[in-house]
Amino acid sequence: MMSALPLTSNHHVHDSLRRKPRTISSAFASITHTAIAPAFTRPGWCSIRTTTGAKALNGEPETIPTTMIFEAAKNARKITAKGKLIQIYKEGAPTYWEYENKETESTKDVPAGYEVRVVNATIWFH
């Protein structure tokens, strides 16, 4: 009769399974002044951190070539923008404002607590 291995034994576990799992960097949890942009690498995609959005937050026109979300602020603010899509929204609520015009700029108030989503657009905050 074969004896069973004790439950505390882990000699049959491969070394790669014993390693501590990796955690995702906290930089990816919140996008304030950084955007995650896709880039081609050898076999596929990876993420590259950039400082996209810093100019726009400082009041200078900035073109965002991809998608970016500006987090909600504690105070009301204004934006001026033009592009493929600009949305002002609050999580769990209907979109407050949506603008789709690549030719003409529009200015809109952003209430406190609302985020701004930008897709292929030029934007700046006042």
- How is domain 53-126 classified at the CATH fold level? Jelly Rolls (2.60.120)
Residue with more model confidence, 49 or 78: 78
Q: C-alpha distances in angstroms, 49 versus 12, 33, 119? A: 40, 10, 17
Q: What average pLDDT does the structure give for the chain? A: 75
Q: Does residue 109 sit in helix, strand or coil?
A: strand
What's phi and psi for 53, nearest 5 deg? 105, -15
Residues 6 or more apart whose Cβ sits within 8 Å of residue 76? 109, 110, 111, 112
pLDDT tens-digit readout, 14-42: 444 444 444 444 343 333 444 444 444 44
Question: What local confidence, expressed as pLDDT, does residue 29 receive?
Answer: 39
Burial of 24-47, coded b for 16+ CB within 10 Å and e otherwise, reads: eeeeeeebeebbeeeeeeeeeeee
Residue (of 37, 64, 59, 57) closest to 48 by Cα position: 37
pTM here is 0.60
